[in-house]
Amino acid sequence: MQHSIALVDDDRNILTSVSIALESEGYFVDTYNDGLEALQGIRQRPPDLAILDIKMPRMDGLELLHKLRSKSSIPIIFLTSKDDEFDEALGLKMGADDYVKKPFSQYLLLERIRALLRRRELDLNIIQNIKEEKIKRGDLILDPERHQCFWKKLPLNLTVTEFLLVRALSMRPGIVKTRDQLIDAAYGENIFVDDRTIDSHVKRLRKKFKQLDNNFNEIETLYGLGYRYKSEQTTLSEN
């Protein structure tokens, strides 16, 4: 299956060179040179993955991410400059799945794209072939088949990365997951991701849960070790 990618950047050299590289790998590419144009195009023709520059005219990448995340959980990669450390962290907190610094190796970008798309395909294969059971942990319900998460029966909109992190933590409540283990669960093996990326995703997860329930405290930090899901109520259901 040919995957579609939305590439958004106001640098026409990047649009041209990266789109050529992606198309040579078999991807279908829609290119946009500002955030507002991209928002309209992505809503009309949703891609399998989006690559967003942060600093763009009319609508920057952070605002575009916010608007996309209100209705979509597609994988999103940020392109950032060397001096955009604050924006990287903010982007991850807002729901980006990954980021690549400019100037970047096209090989690195392609590997990150493959990892995110492969992860999504693996989840779909699990759903189709195994019919993965719902996971219930106290007030938490995860439905991998439908990519749905509920807390106290209220729906929670999670990105692919966030969903995989919750699943990895809640599968074995009380067991500590190191950051490396969570990186493997969310991104797959042999993909380098900075530890702070996981920390940013966990912070965003907690914020989303607390928007539904200010008393949510199920995801614990064990400093120097990692994270764990502390609920001990464990049941599995097929329905």
Q: What percent of the chain has pLDDT over 90?
A: 30
CA end-to-end span of the chain = 30
pLDDT tens across 61-91, in order?
889 988 888 777 788 998 887 665 656 667 7
- Alpha-carbon distance of 82 to 102, in angstroms, equals 6
Structure tokens at 58: 């009319």
pLDDT at 234: 40
- Bridge partners of 53, per DSSP, are 79
pLDDT at 129: 47
- Alpha-carbon distance of 239 to 12, in angstroms, equals 50
Under-50 pLDDT residues of the chain: 127-130, 233-239
pLDDT tens across 99-129, in order?
888 888 888 899 889 888 887 676 555 544 4
Strands (E), 184-233: 219-222, 226-229
* Mean pLDDT estimate for the chain: 82
Domains recognised in the chain with CATH numbers = 4-121 (3.40.50.2300), 132-237 (1.10.10.10)
pLDDT at 239: 42
pLDDT at 235: 41
